[in-house]
Structure formats: structure tokens, C-alpha cells
Amino acid sequence: MTQIENRIWDKEHECMPRTQLEQLQLERLQQTLRRVNEQVPCYKNKFSTLGIKPEDIRSLDDMARLPFTTKEDLRLNYPYGMFAVPMRDVVRIHSSSGTTGKPTVVGYTRNDLRTWTQLAARFMTAAGVSADDIVHIAFGYGLFTGAFGLHYGAEEIGASVIPISSGNSDKQIMIMQDYQSSALVCTPSYALTLADRMEQQGINIDTLSLRVGLFGGEPWSEEMRREIETRLGIVATDNYGLSEVMGPGVAGECCHQCGMHIFEDHFIAEIIDPDSGEVLPRGSSGELVLTSITKEAFPIIRYRTRDITKLEYERCECGRTHVRMLKTMGRSDDMLIIKGVNVFPTQIEEVLFQIDGCEPHYQLVVERAGTMDTLEVQVEVNERIFFDEMKKQRAFVDMLEKRLLSALGVGANVKLVEPSSIPRHEGKAKRVIDKRNQGGAQ
Ligand code: DLL
């Protein structure tokens, strides 16, 4: 596989010495706090309830005194109550892909769009995209931030953008072949769906021009990365973001693929204990909390992302000084508690992807039998295993159940299902069917 080059989009900011970076963060934070205190009633009330004035925050360590912002705050202020500028200054609106209730609405000023474009250009450059690339954007264009974020980033770099949007895999593949797409942008699960479809059509990947993938929008394991890299013959990179904080462009991997650099000249990252809310020491795994320090329309203070990760402060070989967030285990809301043991879907994915015969498509069904939660892992297997004799199939299931037990510390029932029987998604995959809440598929 060809190694991607290490280009840097904005050397001054991305490689800034940390003391200077932290000084810049503090100045920008103080400005943001002053603005939200004046312009956003939700923050004014939160600060006054805690008896905090923006000028009390004199160091980055003082941040722990600031209140959190939660999804609930955004719901209570739906749709525009968190905006810090009048609507006449807002030039774009997006919203989050919430599964329940009202979505959260986010706005951007002209400057916010410029920043977003620059940050998307940064992580796309770090992933190896250049003006020579043909960037195939298979995220849905619409209220979701994915497509527009990467679209403008790629144009800024000077690449040629194909805004194909999501869906219609056969057409995606035809365009990929005919237009010679070299960089694929979508969710990692959709990249695998495309790989499956190519195999079904007997397409030799050497006839494609693809060389790099920029995947994000959902959690995915290292095992899934290897699967995508092998099957599509590309370098697969990870990028992270969330609409409440900006969209894609909060963090992205460089060519070393060792965690996503969080663009710390625009965001401050903390890791907290999701239960107590305490800030955890460096190197701990916990919930990522993000504060925006340059956004105009929709600044956000200590937003509880619910994403569980770890920050790596060790200097990266690429020269960037910005902290790296490791692959998230998933959202704390997606964590299952099975017989008292915490289980993330990505842990199950890691096991399944290591086993020859399992296809990279699975679904988890959680049910309650009496007071006990049970977990069924439905996994597609290849035809040889699916149509094998009962005895061999049973042995395969036993082996899988043993491997899951040792990796998760709790038992799960495995059900082998036919190839192509688990629903495919064009955007974010839905891995969990939770039958504990009446009729509730989440
Ligand atoms: O998914 C923004 C995005 C689009 C990021 C395209 C990257 C690429 P939301 O729909 O608001 O925004 O969902 C945000 O998705 O809190 C994470 O739980 C999850 N997520 C996003 N990127 C990653 C990633 C976009 N690389 C939520 N790894 C976040 C793991 C991710 N989870």
C-alpha cells in the first residue's frame, strides 16, 4: 500500500509550540466567555448561578470551574436560543442527526464558514489529499454537516470535488470508475458496503484510481480500518467532529494514523469522568468535553460529547503539536450494560473482524429476560460457513462465543446469519437494536 505524504496545511498554527498554543487558547477562551456572557442568556444564567464572571477564568486550569453544556441545554433553547449573533449574521444552518426528539440546530456566520473550510482543508491535507485528487463525497448533502464540511475543505485544497451525495451504490461505483475518484469520503460502514458491492460485481480494485479514504461520522475499530484498506486498496484515515461543535474538522488523522489531531487553536479538549464530571488526569480514558474558542454564531462551552476516548499529548512524528484523540470506543449512550458489565459495540467489532469466516457486518440485539439483560450478536458469515454441516456451525458459534467472553468479560449469544441479510446503511450504521424499551429499535 502506498504511504501517504505528510503535508501540513497551516504550519504556523498546527505546529505551534505548546506554551504559545496554550496562551492563544486562553486569550481566545476569555474572549468567547465574555461574548457568551453578554449574548447568550443560557450562559449568562449558568455563570451567574455558579457565581462566575468571565474574568475569573485566568488560566486553562480554571476551566474546570465553568459549567458544562449538554444536549438538554440545546433542546431547551431550540431552535436559535444558543446563538450569539443576530440571525442576519447567520449565513448557514445545519442540524444534528439526533435519533430521538427534536434535532439540535447550529448556525454559522461567514467567518465561521471560513474557519470550517480551513479546518476541513487541514485534516484532508493531513490525510494526504492534494490539488491532484478527485474527491468523491458520498455523504448525504443536507442538514447533516458531513458533506458540506469536506466539500469546501477539498475545494480549498484545490482538489476536484464530485458531490455525488449518498446512496445508489452502483452509480457510486460507476462514477468512481469513470471519473477516476482518488479520495473517498463517507462513513467507514458505507465504505465496506461499497467494497461488498464491488466484489459482487467482480470489479478488480486495481482498475480504480482510489488511493485514500477519509472516513468519519461513526465509531470504527482498527480491525475495520485494516479490512477497508485491504479490500479497497487504500489508506483509510479517520476524522472526527460533531455538529454541535462545528461538524467534521474538529480532529483528523495525519499519515501516521496514530490518533486524530484536535485543532487546539480553535477548540479546547478535556477528558472527564462521565459519572462525576471531574476532570481526569492526562492519559485517562473518559468522556471528551469540547469548548469552541473562535466560533461566532454558535459558541459552545464545555460541551459533553458523550464520546469516550483518550488524549495523547506525546509529540507526533508529523510535527503537529496538537493533542491526538484516540479512536473513540463509542458514545456513552451506546454503551450496553450486560449483566453489570460495560460493553461497547466497537469491542465486539474488534473480535468479529479478527475471525476468518465472519463478514464485516453485524448487529447487536439487547433484550431483557426478567431482570437480566441479554445480548445477541448477529453476524453475517460467508456462504461456506452458513451452509456447513450443523456440527461445524455449532463449533464455529462456540468458538465465537468463547472469544467474545474472553474479550468482553461477559457472555453473549451468537447467531450466524446469511450473507447480505443485515441491513446496510448509506450513512451511519445502526449497530444496536434495543428491545428493552417497548417497540424501540434505536
Ligand atoms: O457526524 C460530523 C462528522 C461528519 C464527522 C462526517 C466526521 C465526518 P453528528 O451527526 O452531529 O456529526 O454526529 C456526531 O458522531 O459525537 C460521535 O459520536 C460520532 N462520530 C463522528 N465522527 C466520529 C469518528 C458528525 N471519527 C457524533 N469516530 C459524535 C467515532 C465519530 N465517532
Q: How confident is the model at residue 97 (pLDDT cuts 50, 70, 90)?
A: low
Q: Per DSSP, which regions of 123-278 are E strands?
A: 134-137, 160-162, 183-186, 212-216, 235-242, 247-253, 260-262, 267-272
Residues 126 and 284: their CA atoms lie apart, in Å, by 26
Q: Is 252 in the pocket of ligand 1 (CB under 6 A)?
A: no
Q: Is 328 in the pocket of ligand 1 (CB under 6 A)?
A: yes
Question: Which residue's C-alpha comes closest to atom 21 of ligand 1?
Answer: 217
Regarding the beta carbon of 240 and ligand 1, being less than 6 Å apart is answered yes
User: Does residue 245 line the site of ligand 1, with CB under 6 A?
Assistant: no
Let me know: does 268 contact 289? Beta carbons within 8 Å.
no
Q: Which atom of ligand 1 is nearest to the CA of 238?
A: 26
Lowest mean pLDDT among 5-9, 63-67, 393-397: 5-9
* Cα 119 to ligand 1 centre (Å): 15
- Ligand 1 proximity of 115 Cβ (cutoff 6 Å): no
* pLDDT above 50 for 183: yes
- List the one residue out of 236, 227, 142 whose CA is nearest residue 185: 236
Fold annotation for 336-441: GMP Synthetase; Chain A, domain 3 (3.30.300)
CA of 220 to the centre of ligand 1 (A): 11
Mean pLDDT of 228-243: 98
Per 3-state DSSP, the chain is made up of helix, strand and coil in percentages (nearest 5) of: 35, 25, 40
Q: How far is the CA of 303 from the centre of ligand 1 (A)?
A: 14
Averaged pLDDT for residues 6-21: 96
Does 299 sit behind a cis peptide bond, omega within 30 degrees of 0 on the bond before it? no
306 Cα nearest atom in ligand 1: 16
From ligand 1's centre to the CA of 53, what distance in Å? 32
> Which residues, at least 6 apart from 417, have a Cβ–Cβ distance to it below 8 Å?
378, 379, 380, 381, 386
Provide the Cα torsion 419, 424, 428, 429; round to 10°: -40
Cell of 7: 503535508
Contact of 255 with 125, CB cutoff 8 Å:
no
What is the Cα–Cα distance from 320 to 118, expressed in whole angstroms? 16
Mutation to probe ligand 1, out of 328, 346, 428 (largest number of atoms < 8 A from CB): 328
- Cell numbers for 334: 451506546
Looking at per-residue confidence, does 43 or 390 come out higher? 43
pLDDT at 96 over 90: no
Q: What is the spatial distance between Cα 143 and Cα 103, in angstroms, rounded to a whole number?
A: 10
Mean pLDDT, the chain, as a whole number? Answer: 94
Instruction: Tell me how far apart the alpha carbons of residues 232 and 291 are, in angstroms, rounded to a whole number.
Output: 36
C-alpha to C-alpha distance for 37 and 43, rounded to whole angstroms: 6
Q: Please report the pLDDT score of residue 4 as a whole number.
A: 67
Instruction: Return the residue whose CA atom lies nearest to atom 15 of ligand 1.
Output: 217
| Nearest to 312, CA basis, from 303, 304, 323, 301 | 323
Q: CA angle, 58 as apex, 57 and 61 as ends, to 5°?
A: 80
Res 126: pLDDT: 98
Cα 187 to averaged position of ligand 1 atoms, centre (Å): 9
CB of residue 54 inside a 6 A radius of ligand 1:
no
Which pLDDT belongs to residue 368? 87
For ligand 1, atom 12: residue with the closest CA:
242
What is the per-residue pLDDT across 126-176, written as a single tens digit (0 to 9) for each? 999 999 999 999 999 999 999 999 999 999 999 999 999 999 999 999 999
Q: Is the pLDDT of residue 79 over 50?
A: yes
441 pLDDT tier (thresholds 50, 70, 90):
very low
What's the pLDDT score for residue 442?
35
State the closest ligand 1 atom to the C-alpha of 219, by its place in the atom list counted from 1: 30
Fold (topology level) of 1-332: Rossmann fold (3.40.50)
- Please write down the HEC assignment for all residues of 5-16: CCCCCCHHHHCC
Percentage of residues of the chain with pLDDT beyond 90 = 88
Q: Is 291 in the pocket of ligand 1 (CB under 6 A)?
A: no
Half-sphere exposure of 104 (CA within 13 A, CB side): 24
Residue 98's pLDDT band (boundaries 50, 70, 90)? low
Which are the contacts of 202, defined by CB distance < 8 A and separation ≥ 6? none
C-beta 97 within 6 A of ligand 1: yes
* pLDDT for 213 beyond 80: yes
What's the CA-to-centroid distance between 96 and ligand 1, angstroms? Answer: 10
What is the average per-residue pLDDT within 177-206?
96
- Residue 425 sits at the vertex; the CA angle it makes with 421 and 429, to the nearest 5 degrees, is 100
Domain boundaries, the chain: 1-332, 336-441
pLDDT at 439: 47
Q: Which of 135, 220, 221, 240 to mutate to test the pocket of ligand 1 (most atoms within 8 A of CB)?
A: 240
Question: CB under 8 Å to 359, separation ≥6 — which residues?
Answer: 379, 380, 381, 382, 419
Q: Does 303 sit in the ligand 1 pocket, CB within 6 Å?
A: no
Protein residue closest via CA to atom 4 of ligand 1 = 146
State if residue 248 touches ligand 1 by the CB under 6 angstroms criterion: yes
Question: Which tens digit of pLDDT belongs to each residue from 403-434?
Answer: 999 999 999 999 999 999 999 989 999 999 98
The alpha carbon of 125 and the centre of ligand 1 are apart by a number of angstroms equal to: 19
> What confidence category does residue 5 fall into, taking pLDDT thresholds of 50, 70 and 90?
confident
Q: Which of 95, 189, 218, 287 to mutate to test the pocket of ligand 1 (most atoms within 8 A of CB)?
A: 218
Q: Which three cell numbers stand for residue 386?
A: 452458513
